[in-house]
Structure 1
Amino acid sequence: MEKVVHLLTLAGISLYWLTTAAITIRIITKRRAIGVSLAWMMVIFVVPLGGVIAYLMFGELNLGRQRASRAREMFQPYSDWFHRLHKWRQYQPGSLSRYSEAITSLCEHRMGIPALADNKLELLDTTDAIFSSLKKDINQASTSIDMEFYIWHPGGQADETATALIEAAGRGVKVRILLDTAGSRTFFKSHWPQTLRDAGIKVAAALPVSPFRILFQRIDLRLHRKIVVIDNTIAYTGSMNLVDPAFFKQDAGVGQWIDVMVRLTGANAPVLASIQAWDWEAETSERQLPPPPVLDAHTQVGIKDLVQVIPSGPGMPEAIIQQVLLQSIYQARRSITITTPYFVPSESLMLAMISAAQRGVDVRIIIPDKNDSLMVEWASRSFFGELLRAGVKIFRFRGGLLHTKSVVIDDRHALIGTVNLDMRSLWLNFEVTLAVEDSEFTANLAQLQRDYQEHAVQIDADSWNSRRLHKRFAEQFFYWFSPLL
């Protein structure tokens, strides 16, 4: 019996080390960012069994066979839909500024989605303004309402929006709602899904999470987009989930969430509708590509308000939004201002920001003073010293949890959408960003960023360098995990 136990022990140890060696070889040969590879190797060797299990669950981008197959089948019809946009007057790549030209070329070559002009953009920067505008448009909808969010949390104005959707369905409007399973778990546990379905509204859960699915696909992929399209003519996107901050995470100790949304009408509303249609089909197998936008032919002259829609996520061109961010930062000549709630940048983005500051660009990063994720907060701090030494200015916003995701370059070019400056948004989540070439909108966004700065405290480099040793240790510890956050 003792020999059997001994042999089983040796067999178990041998199997474990063979598995560890195989995974280590797999990590090395994947040729991803060195920081990501080192972080995974540290997890595997520091947390022996747990690290191996974690890598098998979360280490690779596995969509699952059925979802990957469906994405491949969807590619051609959506590609054809985007290709038809090139024949309209609103497609004029020759009119792009130097800020937008490289980004649009990148997006066209990698995704086939062109920048289109003739959009009207409205920046909504308060909860009341966002919900008021959204409910007004829902109440005036005549044919369709398509929505998708990472989080729908019941309470307050979110419930009022649900009631408006029920009333819209009652007058014959087709309403579809797609929500991330993990982000909206409180919603799915409430009475609202059944109440909405009873009213004739289609409600679908994206990327379901269950122990069974661990065997077939990565379970921490998240639908992080926020998109609303009404009658294929009005669209919303930005940082705000369908959440009333007065009813959301009140015990987190970070204050109310501060968000923005962009209300868009014109050429790109159907483009955002096509992104929502992609997500809906990927989850339900139902194809409902929207009608193409009603645009002018090339006989008319004049071009304005150019917008490039940039979706990202598994099954789409890898690292496309990181490429857009890098291109924008390297083109900056005078100023870069970034707002993000979660700041865990990649090595490439760190180098880009440092290089910009060292060539005399005024680089400013505005982040929340307190974060709802302890790991992210400590990991973020590990980057401050190097950025401050390069001359980057870092501001900690004290008016709540600043959740706005925005970039303004030289007060001329803007990026705004759902993307955090962390590895999860850049590599894993399904996201969407707008690259905007519109002077009035960009000026409004730049002014909003300045308003955020007025409610923030700038980090002093000397004070930061004198912080206590235990804080430095915590920052360095979480830094090792930053590529995985």
Structure 2
Amino acid sequence: MNIVLNIISELYPIIYGLLIIISSLKILKQYRKTSEIINWLLMIYLLPILGLIIWFFIGKIYLNNRRKQIAKKVWSITESWMYDLKKIKYIFESKNSKVAKSLFKLCNYRQGILGVKSNEIRLLHNTTDVINTLIQDIKLAKKNIEMVFYIWNPGGIADDVAKALIYSAKKGIHCRLILDAAGSLKFFHSPWLNMMQQSGIKIVKSLKLNLLKMFFRRIDIRQHRKIILIDNYITYTGSMNLVDPYLFKKSYKIGQWIDLMIRIEGPLAITMGIVYSCDWEMETEKKILPKINKHKNLILKKKKCYPIIQAIPSGPGFPKNMIHRTLLVAIYSARKKITITTPYFIPSHELLNAICIVSKKGIEVNIIIPLYSDSFLVKWASKYFFNKLLDSGVNIYQFQKGLLHTKSILIDEQLSLIGTANLDMRSIWLNFEITLAIDNQLFAKQLKCIHNYYVSQSKLLDYKTWKVRSFWKKLIEKIFYLCSPLL
């Protein structure tokens, strides 16, 4: 026994040193961004063994081979389907406003599709209105209902949506539901799972949690989209999970969750249906591409000006770094004013620089974030960026009336970005997300009103007060900033 221990003790430094060298070389090869390279290298050097374990499980591997193969297969089929869709030219628009032109050009180049005209678009910022409108649409559905959510937390108004789905399913409506395995853990352990399945609703658990799978893919990639599709004509998306905002994480004592959802009628549901069908096939290997019907879901009402919308999906299998490039192009397109709302602010080096550069050019930049957060790590790590932002003239507003969960950007009161992606590393690089780019002045004015309300419920971070904060607070910010690749 002593001999074995002696051999282990002698070999340990050599094996550990080799692992450090191999990991370092892989990090240098895999990551292009200097800040990420430094953060990961510091982690494996400063946290013996633990740093290597963290990198192995969540820093090294992206998707397993099965999912990669399915993703390639899905897109090859989708491309031919999109070719037929693009023949219906009247639903697309090639002309955009000056501020939106570059972004829509990027989307067309990377995704192969122009912006889509829409009949009606509504901003819903009151949770009660969202749920009531959604339940009405579910009960009036005639053919199909598709949903994907990161979190479905039973209780309160979430149960009302479940009852409406059961009602429609029993009428013969085809209902499909994709829920993230980690985010919706409580749902999968609740009676609602069996009740909904017994009514005929097909429910898929996305990215299942399995100890063995930790060795074959990153375990922290999550299905973070929030999409509802009804009859291939009505689309919902935004920041709201299927939770009761008064009950969700009540023990955190951070107040009500504040969200924003969009309800859209028209051809956008078809393009969003492509995203949903890809997600469904990734999990089930079954194809459910939406049917194209020129006489029903592709009808455009006669209007002088249509909202032009581009759906921008991201995540493994979708165009690489699309959310990051979208954000950069949108920010640099600004000429007058930018307003950003996000619950979690851990920007990349490039995004931080872009925000600071446009602010220094004299463009008004406002960032609205929650004063209270459900993530202790993110709360402190995000503060690390405040110095540079304030030095560049950026206004930082801290929302005080609950947890502001809305993810939105408004540029020059013309171009709006709304969706599921936070301004953090996880949303930018890893998760399955969806963002809508909306080129329409009337819609932008509505979003501006909501932003003004958020500002009225916030306090502006004072530059002088921030500069004289205590040394230990500055130290904590720097320590948690080193964890930014994990946040």
Question: Shared fold (TM-score greater than 0.5)?
Answer: yes
Q: State the alpha-carbon separation in 1 of the partners of residues 77 and 195 from structure 2.
A: 34
Q: Classify the secondary structure of the residue corresponding to 1:264.
A: strand
Show the counterpart of 2:195.
Answer: 195
Greater displacement, 420-429 / 3-12: 3-12
Structure 2 SS opposite 1:145: strand
CA distance in 2, matches of 1:297, 1:158: 32
Q: Which residue of structure 2 aligns with residue 167 of structure 1? A: 167
Can you list the C-alpha shifts for 1:342-399, whole angstroms capped at 9, x where unaligned? 0000000100000011000000000000110000000010100110011000000001
- Write the distance in 2 (CA, Å) between the matches of 1:371 and 1:97: 36
Match in the other structure for 2:289: 289
Q: Do residues 79 (structure 1) and 79 (structure 2) align?
A: yes
TM-score by length of 2: 0.96
Given the superposition, is the C-alpha separation of residues 240 and 270 from structure 1 closer, same or farther in structure 2, using an over 3 Å criterion?
same
Greater shift, 100-109 or 438-447, is seen at 100-109
SS in 1 for 2:91: coil
Matching residue of 1:115: 115
Give the aligned partner of residue 427 of structure 1. 429
Q: Deviation string for 1:322-355 (max 9, x for gaps)?
A: 1111111111111000000000000001000000
Task: Say which is worse superposed, 51-60 or 418-427, in terms of deviation.
Answer: 51-60
SS at match of 1:232: coil
Shift, 1:297, TM fit: 9.9
Hey, what does 1:366 align to over in structure 2?
A: 368
Cα displacement (A) at 1:181: 0.3
Which residue of structure 2 aligns with residue 384 of structure 1? Answer: 386
- Once residues 82 and 293 of structure 1 are traced to their aligned partners in structure 2, the CA distance between those partners, rounded to angstroms, is 14
1:397 partner amino acid: F
Q: Distance in 2 between matches of 1:378 and 1:237?
A: 29
Whole-angstrom CA distance in 2 between matches of 1:274 and 1:218: 25
Which stretch of structure 1 is more off in the superposition, 6-15 or 21-30?
6-15
**In the alignment, does 2:41 pair up with 1:41?**
yes
Structure 2 counterpart of 1:361, one-letter code = I
Q: How does 1:26-65 map to 2 (within 5 A)?
A: 26-65=26-65
Residue 221 (str. 1) matches residue 260 (str. 2)? no
SS of aligned partner of 1:421: coil
CA offset digits 1:55-86 (Å, max 9, x no partner): 11111342111111111111111122223333
For residues 48 and 83 of structure 2, the distance between their equivalents in structure 1, rounded to whole angstroms, comes to: 50
Residue among 336, 344, 347 paired with 1:334 = 336
Match of 1:454 in 2: 456
The residue identity in structure 1 corresponding to 2:324 is Q
CA contact (8 A) 2:267 2:299 kept: no
Does the aligned pair in 1 maintain the 2:91–2:298 contact within 8 Å?
A: yes
- Contact kept? 1:145, 1:174, Cα under 8 Å: yes
The answer on whether the counterparts of 1:82 and 1:114 sit within 8 Å (CA) in structure 2 is no
Q: CA RMSD in A?
A: 1.6
Aligned to 1:90: 91
Which of residues 309, 321, 325 in structure 2 aligns to 1:319?
321
Secondary structure at the aligned position of 1:48 is classed as coil
Report the alpha carbon displacement of residue 13 of structure 1 after superposing the two structures with TM. Answer: 2.0
Distance 1:207 1:400 in 2: 30
1:125-136 matched pairs, under 5 angstroms:
125-136=125-136
The letter of the residue matching 1:90 is I
Q: 1:457 to 1:302 in 2, by over 3 A?
A: closer
- AA at the equivalent of 1:114: L
Structure 1 residue 301 displacement after superposition? 9.9
Distance 1:6 1:415, change over 3 A: same
Deviation at 1:311, TM superposition (A): 0.2
| Residues 126, 259 of structure 2: 8 Å contact kept | yes
Tell me which amino acid in the other structure corresponds to 1:209. Answer: L
Q: Which amino acid aligns with 2:90?
A: R
1:444 alignment partner, one of 431, 441, 446? 446
Deviation per residue, 1:144-170 (Å, 9 max, x gap)? 000000000001111011001001011
Q: Specify the code of the residue in structure 1 equivalent to 2:116.
A: L
Q: 8 Å contact 2:93–2:114 — kept in the other structure?
A: no
**Which residues in structure 2 correspond to 1:395-434 (within 5 Å)?**
395-434=397-436
Distance 1:423 1:97 in 2: 30
Q: Distance in 2 between matches of 1:83 and 1:470?
A: 58
Question: Aligned partners of 1:267 and 1:196: how far apart in 2?
Answer: 29
Q: How far apart, CA to CA, are the structure 2 residues paired with 1:128 and 1:393? A: 31
SS of alignment partner, residue 246 of structure 1 = coil
- Name the TM-score, length of structure 1 as normaliser: 0.97
Residue 3 of structure 1, CA deviation? 4.8
Contact 1:119 1:268 (8 Å CA) reproduced: no
Aligned residues: 483
Which amino acid is the alignment partner of residue 68 of structure 1?
Answer: K
Instruction: Give identity over the alignment, percent.
Output: 40
Q: 2:436 corresponds to which letter in structure 1?
A: L
Once residues 61 and 213 of structure 1 are traced to their aligned partners in structure 2, the CA distance between those partners, rounded to angstroms, is 11
Q: Does the C-alpha gap of structure 1 residues 391 and 473 become closer, same or farther in structure 2, counting only changes over 3 Å?
A: same
Other-structure match for 2:486: 484
Structure 1: state its 5+ residue gaps: none
Aligned to 2:229, the other structure's residue is in SS state strand
Task: Name the amino acid aligned to 2:48.
Answer: P
| Distance apart, 1:223 and its partner CA | 0.4
CA distance in 2, matches of 1:301, 1:253: 47
CA drift at 1:208: 0.6
Deviations 1:150-203, CA, capped at 9 Å, x for gaps = 000001111011001001011110101100000000111111111111111101
Residue identity matched to 1:344: I
Counterparts of 1:296 and 1:401, CA distance in 2: 38
Distance 2:404 2:299 in 1: 42
2:70 corresponds to: 70
